[in-house]
Structure 1
Amino acid sequence: MSTKKLMLLGGLRYLIPIIEEAHKLGVYVITADYLPNNIAHKYSDEYCNVSIIDKEAVLVKARDLKIDGILSHAVDPGVTTAAFVAEKMGLPFQCSYEAACILQDKAMFRKFLAENGFNSPKAKGYNNAEDALKDVDYFNWPVIVKPVDSAGSKGVTKVENKANLATAIATALSSSISKNFIIEDFLDKVGAQSSADIFTVDGKLVYPAYSDQLFDKSAANPYTPAIEIWPASMEQKFQDDLTAQLQRLFTLLNVKSGIYNVESRVCSNGKAYIMEVSPRGGGNRIAELQDMATGQSLIRNEIKKALGMPMDDISSPVYDGVWCNYIMHSSKEGTFVAVEIDEEFKRNHVRDIGFIVKPGDHIHPFTGANTSLGTLFLQFDSRKELEDALNNSDKWIQIRLK
């Protein structure tokens, strides 16, 4: 049997566990982007220099390399390209290229939700500031302004005052590849927003998952996730409602098998909202943590799916205790020296440390996933034990800058 070839779009650190798991399965891994010095290329079997947002160019390379599967795991800009290449080459993917385009474009997704009777905020997409500024009275203020095609909270601003809308639009446009943005009513949430990875098999949602996504109000961007906790504290009735909404969405989009990153929330109006659904694994190593916490492997099954290999049985997650993805970050600028963690705390609760910086690196204030220092996976016996640790983090972690 010939060795299967898997193309991974991007070269970020998030891909290293995918490469390692693929190698365990005997898979030949090709990483592809236009930055040859990205770290994942040091771990793959072959590097392909191509822009991952140029879907036609990636298709040419994929055909030349005779790949058997393609993924854009945790790499948002490459998702529609991966769907396009998979469709053109008859390879497995979560959904059609058309469905991927709907899910990946925040304006198109909001329009699809509204037209199909899902809970959705009033929203509208734009490609220029002038048209948006004429619509200030269309929305129920405050509003959120976002690029339609960015992830990791890049370019996102909550706007309380109409006079500040133009500045927020400029921020969104600066982070948009397509130079399109969306304005939507700000939904006042109850409790924590959820961000988690889920899995479908033949269009059926077999692995629904929800988390508590918390934010650092003192961060340079207070809408960048700083802490994620599993299992979620969300009431079960809302989790069940969201699972039903997601299944209806997947049925309408005629999806297949694969991983999705989903953001959702319960709002003060008593309704649960699907905020975002992306046909890829989430950033911040979400699938890695969920795999560690549940004993199931979303990563391995996503690889198997992409290559048409038989998948393991996948079922609703059960967590071994309470888990936290702690996003290490700084509130100030400086040169990174070290992260110091109390040894007893590390021994009892730290299950993984993933740095994305090294001593001597220049550190920026926390504005998005790309300005974090890395992640800690923490495990506790109870939610109270975790909350006590988070409320007293200065007792067990110190970030040293100079």
Structure 2
Amino acid sequence: MSEHWPHGALIVLGASEEQIVLYQEARRRGIPAIAVDVRADAPALPFADAALKISTRNTDAIADALGDVRPAGIVGGASDAALASWHALGLRYGTPYVYPRSALAAGDKAVFHAIAASCGVAGYGWTASDEPDQVIAEATRLSFPLVIKPSDGSGSKGVSLVARAEDLYAAVADARSYSASQTVIAEEFIQGRPLAVEVFMQDGRALMTCVKDKDFAGETFVVRRLRTVQLAPAAHHQLEATVERLCRGLGIANGPANFDIVLGADGQERVIEANTRLGGDGVPRLLAAAYDVDVVRALIALVLGEPFSDHLTPTRAAHAALELTGSPHDTEGELITWEGIAEARSVPGITDIELYAKPGDLVRPHDQSGHKIGLLVAAGPSDTDALTALDTASALLRPIIRPKEES
């Protein structure tokens, strides 16, 4: 079957809305892109030159389907599911860049706690187990409120905030349902300013570091808005030094990573999670709007064995903000239409509007990252300018959704 696949292609692991930018960059370069995704309706498939309907976790099946094809490179986007395959396929085909096996440790939140401690990062109380009774018993000895989540999860799936011991059972059961290993971690909730730090490493040092503020949707841990922030130089350098140590601890000498960090009232930063890949939720668009850097081009250059630093040199210092659009309903529904698209695009300062759902699509409540249906990005000379543009466009852009009738 290998004759069906183009030689010298870029193998893209995943075809969600987050991976669209990878296919667009391959097309811009004139490199054929082979998509790997088990879903026949994955949003990025129209941007691919060919597709393998295979799980991104199934390395052997992917290699069998490719046959004697020798890809130019293997790449993954804003998804943890494909990281192990990214490493294994890179080794198998001897591609210029091989995703580091050590970086897979970030996918286990309990293991990452140990790595963070070894890097001198301040910790906090936590416990993890694949036995529900054990994690509940040990969690009761921590300081409430607690965050309960799957130890190997992502995208805010199965994450809940628990204020009382009697609510632990339901929260643990929910988190466990999203864990491939059936392992749940309970962590003390850290009060403070939630930040996301994006970094792109070169030869063990941070070539680019961006700090972002995060706003959440309602009482959830689902990100609703991101905006770039300019911290005082000392604070920025401290965060950059922290993520550099963590990247080196995870074996990331070159490439992207992002970290969820809380700045506590005591001035100490505490690292909540690490994602050893490109950031999701439209982060490449946000960085391009603020600094005119292109982390997608940098990543593709890296996996093809080319120099990548030029793509990460800022040419402007604007402020940018991003809003993720989700269903306004708490039940499933059908998207009937979008209203106000042209008006929203015409708002001064709006740099990107992406719509991931089309009329007729099933739309779910925005209770996890993967349920977003669109995003807006704005930029301006000040934080206020960017947020004003975002507020104006967001009020104009309206998804019209018919709630699904209960059976």
Same-fold call, TM cutoff 0.5: yes
> How many angstroms apart in 2 are the aligned matches of 1:308 and 1:280?
17
SS of the counterpart of 1:348?
A: coil
Aligned residue runs from structure 1 range 96-175, under 5 A: 96-97=100-101, 99-175=102-178
List aligned pairs for 1:9-158, cutoff 5 A.
9-61=13-65, 64-93=68-97, 95-97=99-101, 99-158=102-161
Q: CA 1:369–1:319 in 2, change beyond 3 Å: closer, same or farther?
A: farther
Task: Judge conservation of contact 1:265–1:275 (CA < 8 Å) in 2.
Answer: yes
Q: Which moved more, 1:383-392 or 1:65-74?
A: 383-392
Give the AA of the match of 1:20: Q
- Mark the CA change 1:64 to 1:185 in structure 2 (over 3 Å): closer, same or farther: farther
Specify whether residues 210 and 77 from structure 1 end up closer, same or farther in structure 2 by C-alpha distance, changes over 3 A only. same
Residue 256 of structure 2 corresponds to: 259
Q: Give the Cα separation in 1 of the matches to 2:149 and 2:377.
A: 29
> Which amino acid in structure 2 is aligned with residue 309 of structure 1?
E
CA distance in 1, matches of 2:119, 2:63: 33
Structure 1 pair 176–346 and aligned structure 2 pair: CA distance change class (3 A): farther
**Kept after mapping to 1: 8 A contact 2:291/2:317:** yes
CA contact (8 A) 2:103 2:251 kept: no
Q: CA deviation at 1:145?
A: 0.9
- Backbone CA RMSD of aligned residues: 2.6
Q: Is the 8 A contact 2:319 2:386 kept in 1?
A: yes
**1:242/1:274 contact within 8 Å kept:** no
Q: CA deviation at 1:263?
A: 2.0
Q: Structure 1: state its 5+ residue gaps.
A: none
Deviation at 1:129, TM superposition (A): 0.6
Report % sequence identity: 23
Asked if residue 224 in structure 1 is aligned to residue 222 in structure 2, the reply is: yes
- Pick closer, same or farther for the CA change 1:108–1:350 going to 2, 3 Å: same
Separation in 1, partners of 2:202, 2:98: 9
AA in 2 matched with 1:275: I
C-alpha separation in 1, matches of 2:232 and 2:68: 50
TM norm structure 2: 0.88
Q: Is the contact between residue 189 and residue 266 of structure 1 (CA under 8 Å) also seen in structure 2?
A: yes
Give the equivalent residue in structure 2 for 1:194. Answer: 195
CA distance in 2, matches of 1:115, 1:358: 47
Deviations 1:138-171 (A, max 9, x none): 3221111111222221111111111111111111
Cα separation, 2, equivalents of 1:57 and 1:138: 45
Aligned residues between the structures: 394
Alignment pair present for 1:308 and 2:305: yes
**Which runs of no fewer than 5 residues in structure 2 stay unpaired?**
1-5, 403-407
> Distance in 2 between the 1:189 and 1:25 partners?
43
Q: What TM-score do you get using the length of structure 1 for normalisation?
A: 0.89
> Residue 141 and residue 398 in structure 1: after superposition, are their counterparts in 2 closer, same or farther (change >3 A)?
same
Q: Matches of 1:26 and 1:136 in 2, distance apart?
A: 53
Q: Compared with structure 1, are the counterparts of its residues 56 and 342 closer, same or farther at alpha carbon in structure 2 (3 Å cutoff)?
A: closer
CA contact (8 A) 1:330 1:399 kept: yes
